Structure formats: C-alpha cells, structure tokens
Amino acid sequence: MIFLSSDQIITILQGVVSGITALSWQYAVMIIIGLVLIHLGVRYNLEPLLLVPIGFGCILVNLPLAGLMEPHGLLRYFYDAGIITEVFPCLIFLGVGAMTDFSPLLQNPRVILLGGAGQFGIFLTLLLALAAGFEKLEAVCVGIIGACDGPTAIYVTTQFAPHLLGPVSVAAYSYMSLVPLIQPPLMRLCTTKKERSMLMPYTDQKPISTTVKIIFPLAVTIITVLIAPLGAPLMGMLMLGNFLRECGVVERLSRTAQNEIVNIATLLLGLTIGATMNGEIFLTAKTLIIFALGAIAISGDTVAGIYLAKLMNIFSKEKINPLIGSAGISAFPMAARVSHKVGHEENDENYLIMHAMGVNTGGQIGSVLAASIMLAVLQAMGLI
C-alpha cells in the first residue's frame, strides 16, 4: 500500500491476530472443557439448563483479550451483581420452592430424617479436605459439594473461599448431573436383592389439607432460621417460593417465580460460574482434588441414606425400602427417579417414586439446613 509503511502493516496484522498469539495452553484446555460441558448438556441431556451456560461462559472467559471478566467487562457485571451479592442462588431457591410439592413428605414425615443422612457426605468430605491440606474455611466449601445443591455450594463458597468458586460450583453441578450414573452401583452394593424388592404400599397415605401446606413453609422458616440464622437467605427464599405456590392467592407471583425468575437467574448464574473457570486459575492440582472429593461426597450421601433407612427399619413396624434412602440429597427429582428405577428393575410391582419424592424434598430442606448449621457452628467458633 502506498500510504502505509511495511512496519505499520505488520503492526496492524499483529493487532488483528493478537488474540490467537495470546492463546496459552491453559486457555485452550479450558475451551475444550467448555465444549465438553456443552456436549454433555446438548448430546446427553445432562443438566442442560446449567451445563450449557456454564460451558459457554467457560469458553467466553478463556478467549484471550476479550476481557469479559475484567473490570467493566460484561460477565464481571453479572458476577458482581449476582454472585458476590448472592442474589442469583437465592432467586433460584425462590423458583425451586415454587416448583416443589411437599405433599409426599407431609404424608410420611419420618422420611425427612433420610434427608439429613443424605448430608453426611458434606461432613465426611470436610474431614478429607482438611486431611488433604485445605484451610478450614476452604474445606467447608469443598465439603458443601456433598449437599448436591449448586446454589447452596455457591452461596457458601462465595462467602468463605471465593477463589474456589469455579471448581466447587462446577463439581457440585457436574455431580448433580451424574447422580444417575454414580448412585445405582452403590445402591446395589449396599442392599440385598430382598431389600431392593421390598414393596411400600400407598394405602395408608391420606391427602394433605391446604391449611397444612400453607403453614408448613412458615413453620420451617421460623424454626430453622431461629436455629441457624445465617441460612435465612436460602431457607427464606425456598420457603417463600413454596408459600407463594400453596397459599393460592398469588398465582401470578408463583408462576413468575417458577418460570421467568428462575430461568433468568439460572442463565446468568450458569454463565457467570462458567466465567470463573479461567484457565490460569482453574487448572491446578487443587481443582483435581476438589473433583475427587466431590465424588466421595456424593457417594457418602448415598451410602449414609441407605444405611439410615436400614437402621430405621430395625426400630419401626412400617418398613421402608432402603433404596429411597439414597434420594435424601438435593438433586430433585433426579435422585427420586433413580431410587424408583433401581427398585422397579428388581421387582416390577415396586413403585417407590412418591416415597422417594418425599425423601428427595426432605433432602432439599436437609441440604440448606446442614449448610446453615455449619455456618452457625463456624460463627459460634469465631471463624467467621
């Protein structure tokens, strides 16, 4: 060109390809991980509502020089507004509460204890994380993967170990989506054929009155927040959502919580969590350890639930199929479906689904409660 020197042309070309030259191996690996997450969501339908935006966010943040997580970057605004403030996880809980029917739990209240056993993995993993060399508050955040509950994991990790937010939240969501693969072998390992074939009748279950359904979320909120006040945002939003559903006079609000609010929050939360997966921060030995501990956490939840169900059978006249114990985690309704499927495979007259749904909704309450109680204990110990 006549009006540009060769040096100027080279400078322009360098500017055009600067993104490519700045692509390090860490960014390249993370872009591949993002593509894998999208593939799992789209091809295998594994938690697509979460894995697709997480995968896309992961790709976006690892494209060099795009600056989406730099100050004034688009994803940084979402991160600061929704994750740092903990608004997104709480909005998701509002929607989850509005979508949850606690009737199966109210028909068989004792199974809520299985929702407590399903939190054993949290504390087991916490111990293992401490043994693996994590700091105390870091170990708490790694342990919370065992809640099998993405929003709770994000809520706790944002407060106490924000540098682990990417690995912890991705591990929590990944293992939630892998429940159908992780749980069945453990369920078969921990039960006999006779136990798996055990029938649970529905004949003694009475319908629940509307008054009970309305009082229940209020009672849970008041009792649990009095015991563990730091869990108020999560439990409060979960139960508010359920109250909107059950009170019957705010149908529009209930529908909005179940649809628009939860959808927008899920999209932005997924995208922003993906954006925390910067290759230079994410690809460390700690991330691998966190993923390994996450697998132990989910396994611990499953085994503890099954064995508590067996223990309850020793002291109770009305026997329960131990398989429903594995549904005491927060992955709803996937864990309940897995319990039903394994029981049905063993005995085709076995319909555990509604019993397992009761345990699964108990697991939702249990996971938030366990996290809240952990925060209360940490506060009492002066660590937070």
Partner 1 sequence: MELTNMQFGILMLVFGMGLTLLTLYVLCWVMRILTSVFKHNKESAE
Contact 110, 116 (CB under 8 A): no
Min dist CB 312 to partner 1, Å, is 11
- Sign of the torsion formed by the C-alpha atoms of 299, 303, 309 and 312: negative
Contact 265, 81 (CB under 8 A): no
Min dist CB 247 to partner 1, Å, is 15
How far apart are the C-alpha atoms of 206 and 9, rounded to whole Å? 80
Question: What token pair was written down for 100?
Answer: 């949850």
Q: Which is nearer to partner 1, 177 or 367 (CB)?
A: 367
For 327-364, b/e burial (b = at least 16 CB within 10 A) is bbbbbbbbbbbbbbbbbbebbeebbbbbbbbbbbbbbb
40-46: Cβ within 8 A, 24+ apart: 40/177, 46/177, 46/178
The closest alpha carbon to 271, from 47, 98, 52, 65, belongs to: 52
Question: What token pair was written down for 139?
Answer: 């170990």
What contacts 183, CB < 8 A, 6 or more positions away?
Answer: 298, 302, 326, 335, 338, 342
Min dist CB 342 to partner 1, Å, is 24
Q: Which is nearer to partner 1, 107 or 197 (CB)?
A: 107
The closest alpha carbon to 350, from 359, 340, 360, 338, belongs to: 340
Min dist CB 299 to partner 1, Å, is 16
Min dist CB 359 to partner 1, Å, is 12
Q: Which is nearer to partner 1, 120 or 173 (CB)?
A: 120
How far apart are the C-alpha atoms of 37 and 295, rounded to whole Å? 17
Q: Which is nearer to partner 1, 106 or 198 (CB)?
A: 106
Min dist CB 136 to partner 1, Å, is 5
Q: Which is nearer to partner 1, 11 or 379 (CB)?
A: 379
How far apart are the C-alpha atoms of 82 and 59, rounded to whole Å? 20
Q: Which is nearer to partner 1, 80 or 318 (CB)?
A: 318
Binding site for partner 1 (CB under 8 A): 105-107, 109-110, 112-113, 115-117, 119-120, 122-124, 126-127, 130-131, 136, 139-140, 206-212, 215-216, 219-220, 223-224, 227-228, 362, 365-366, 369-370, 373-374, 376-377, 381-382
Min dist CB 361 to partner 1, Å, is 11
User: Interior CA angle at 137 toward 134 and 140, to 5°?
Assistant: 85
Q: Which is nearer to partner 1, 263 or 379 (CB)?
A: 379
For 121-142, b/e burial (b = at least 16 CB within 10 A) is bbbbbbebbbebebeebbbbbb
Q: Which is nearer to partner 1, 244 or 365 (CB)?
A: 365
Q: Which is nearer to partner 1, 75 or 129 (CB)?
A: 129
Min dist CB 225 to partner 1, Å, is 11
Q: Which is nearer to partner 1, 4 or 227 (CB)?
A: 227
User: Interior CA angle at 332 toward 161 and 351, to 5°?
Assistant: 150
Min dist CB 169 to partner 1, Å, is 21
Min dist CB 181 to partner 1, Å, is 26
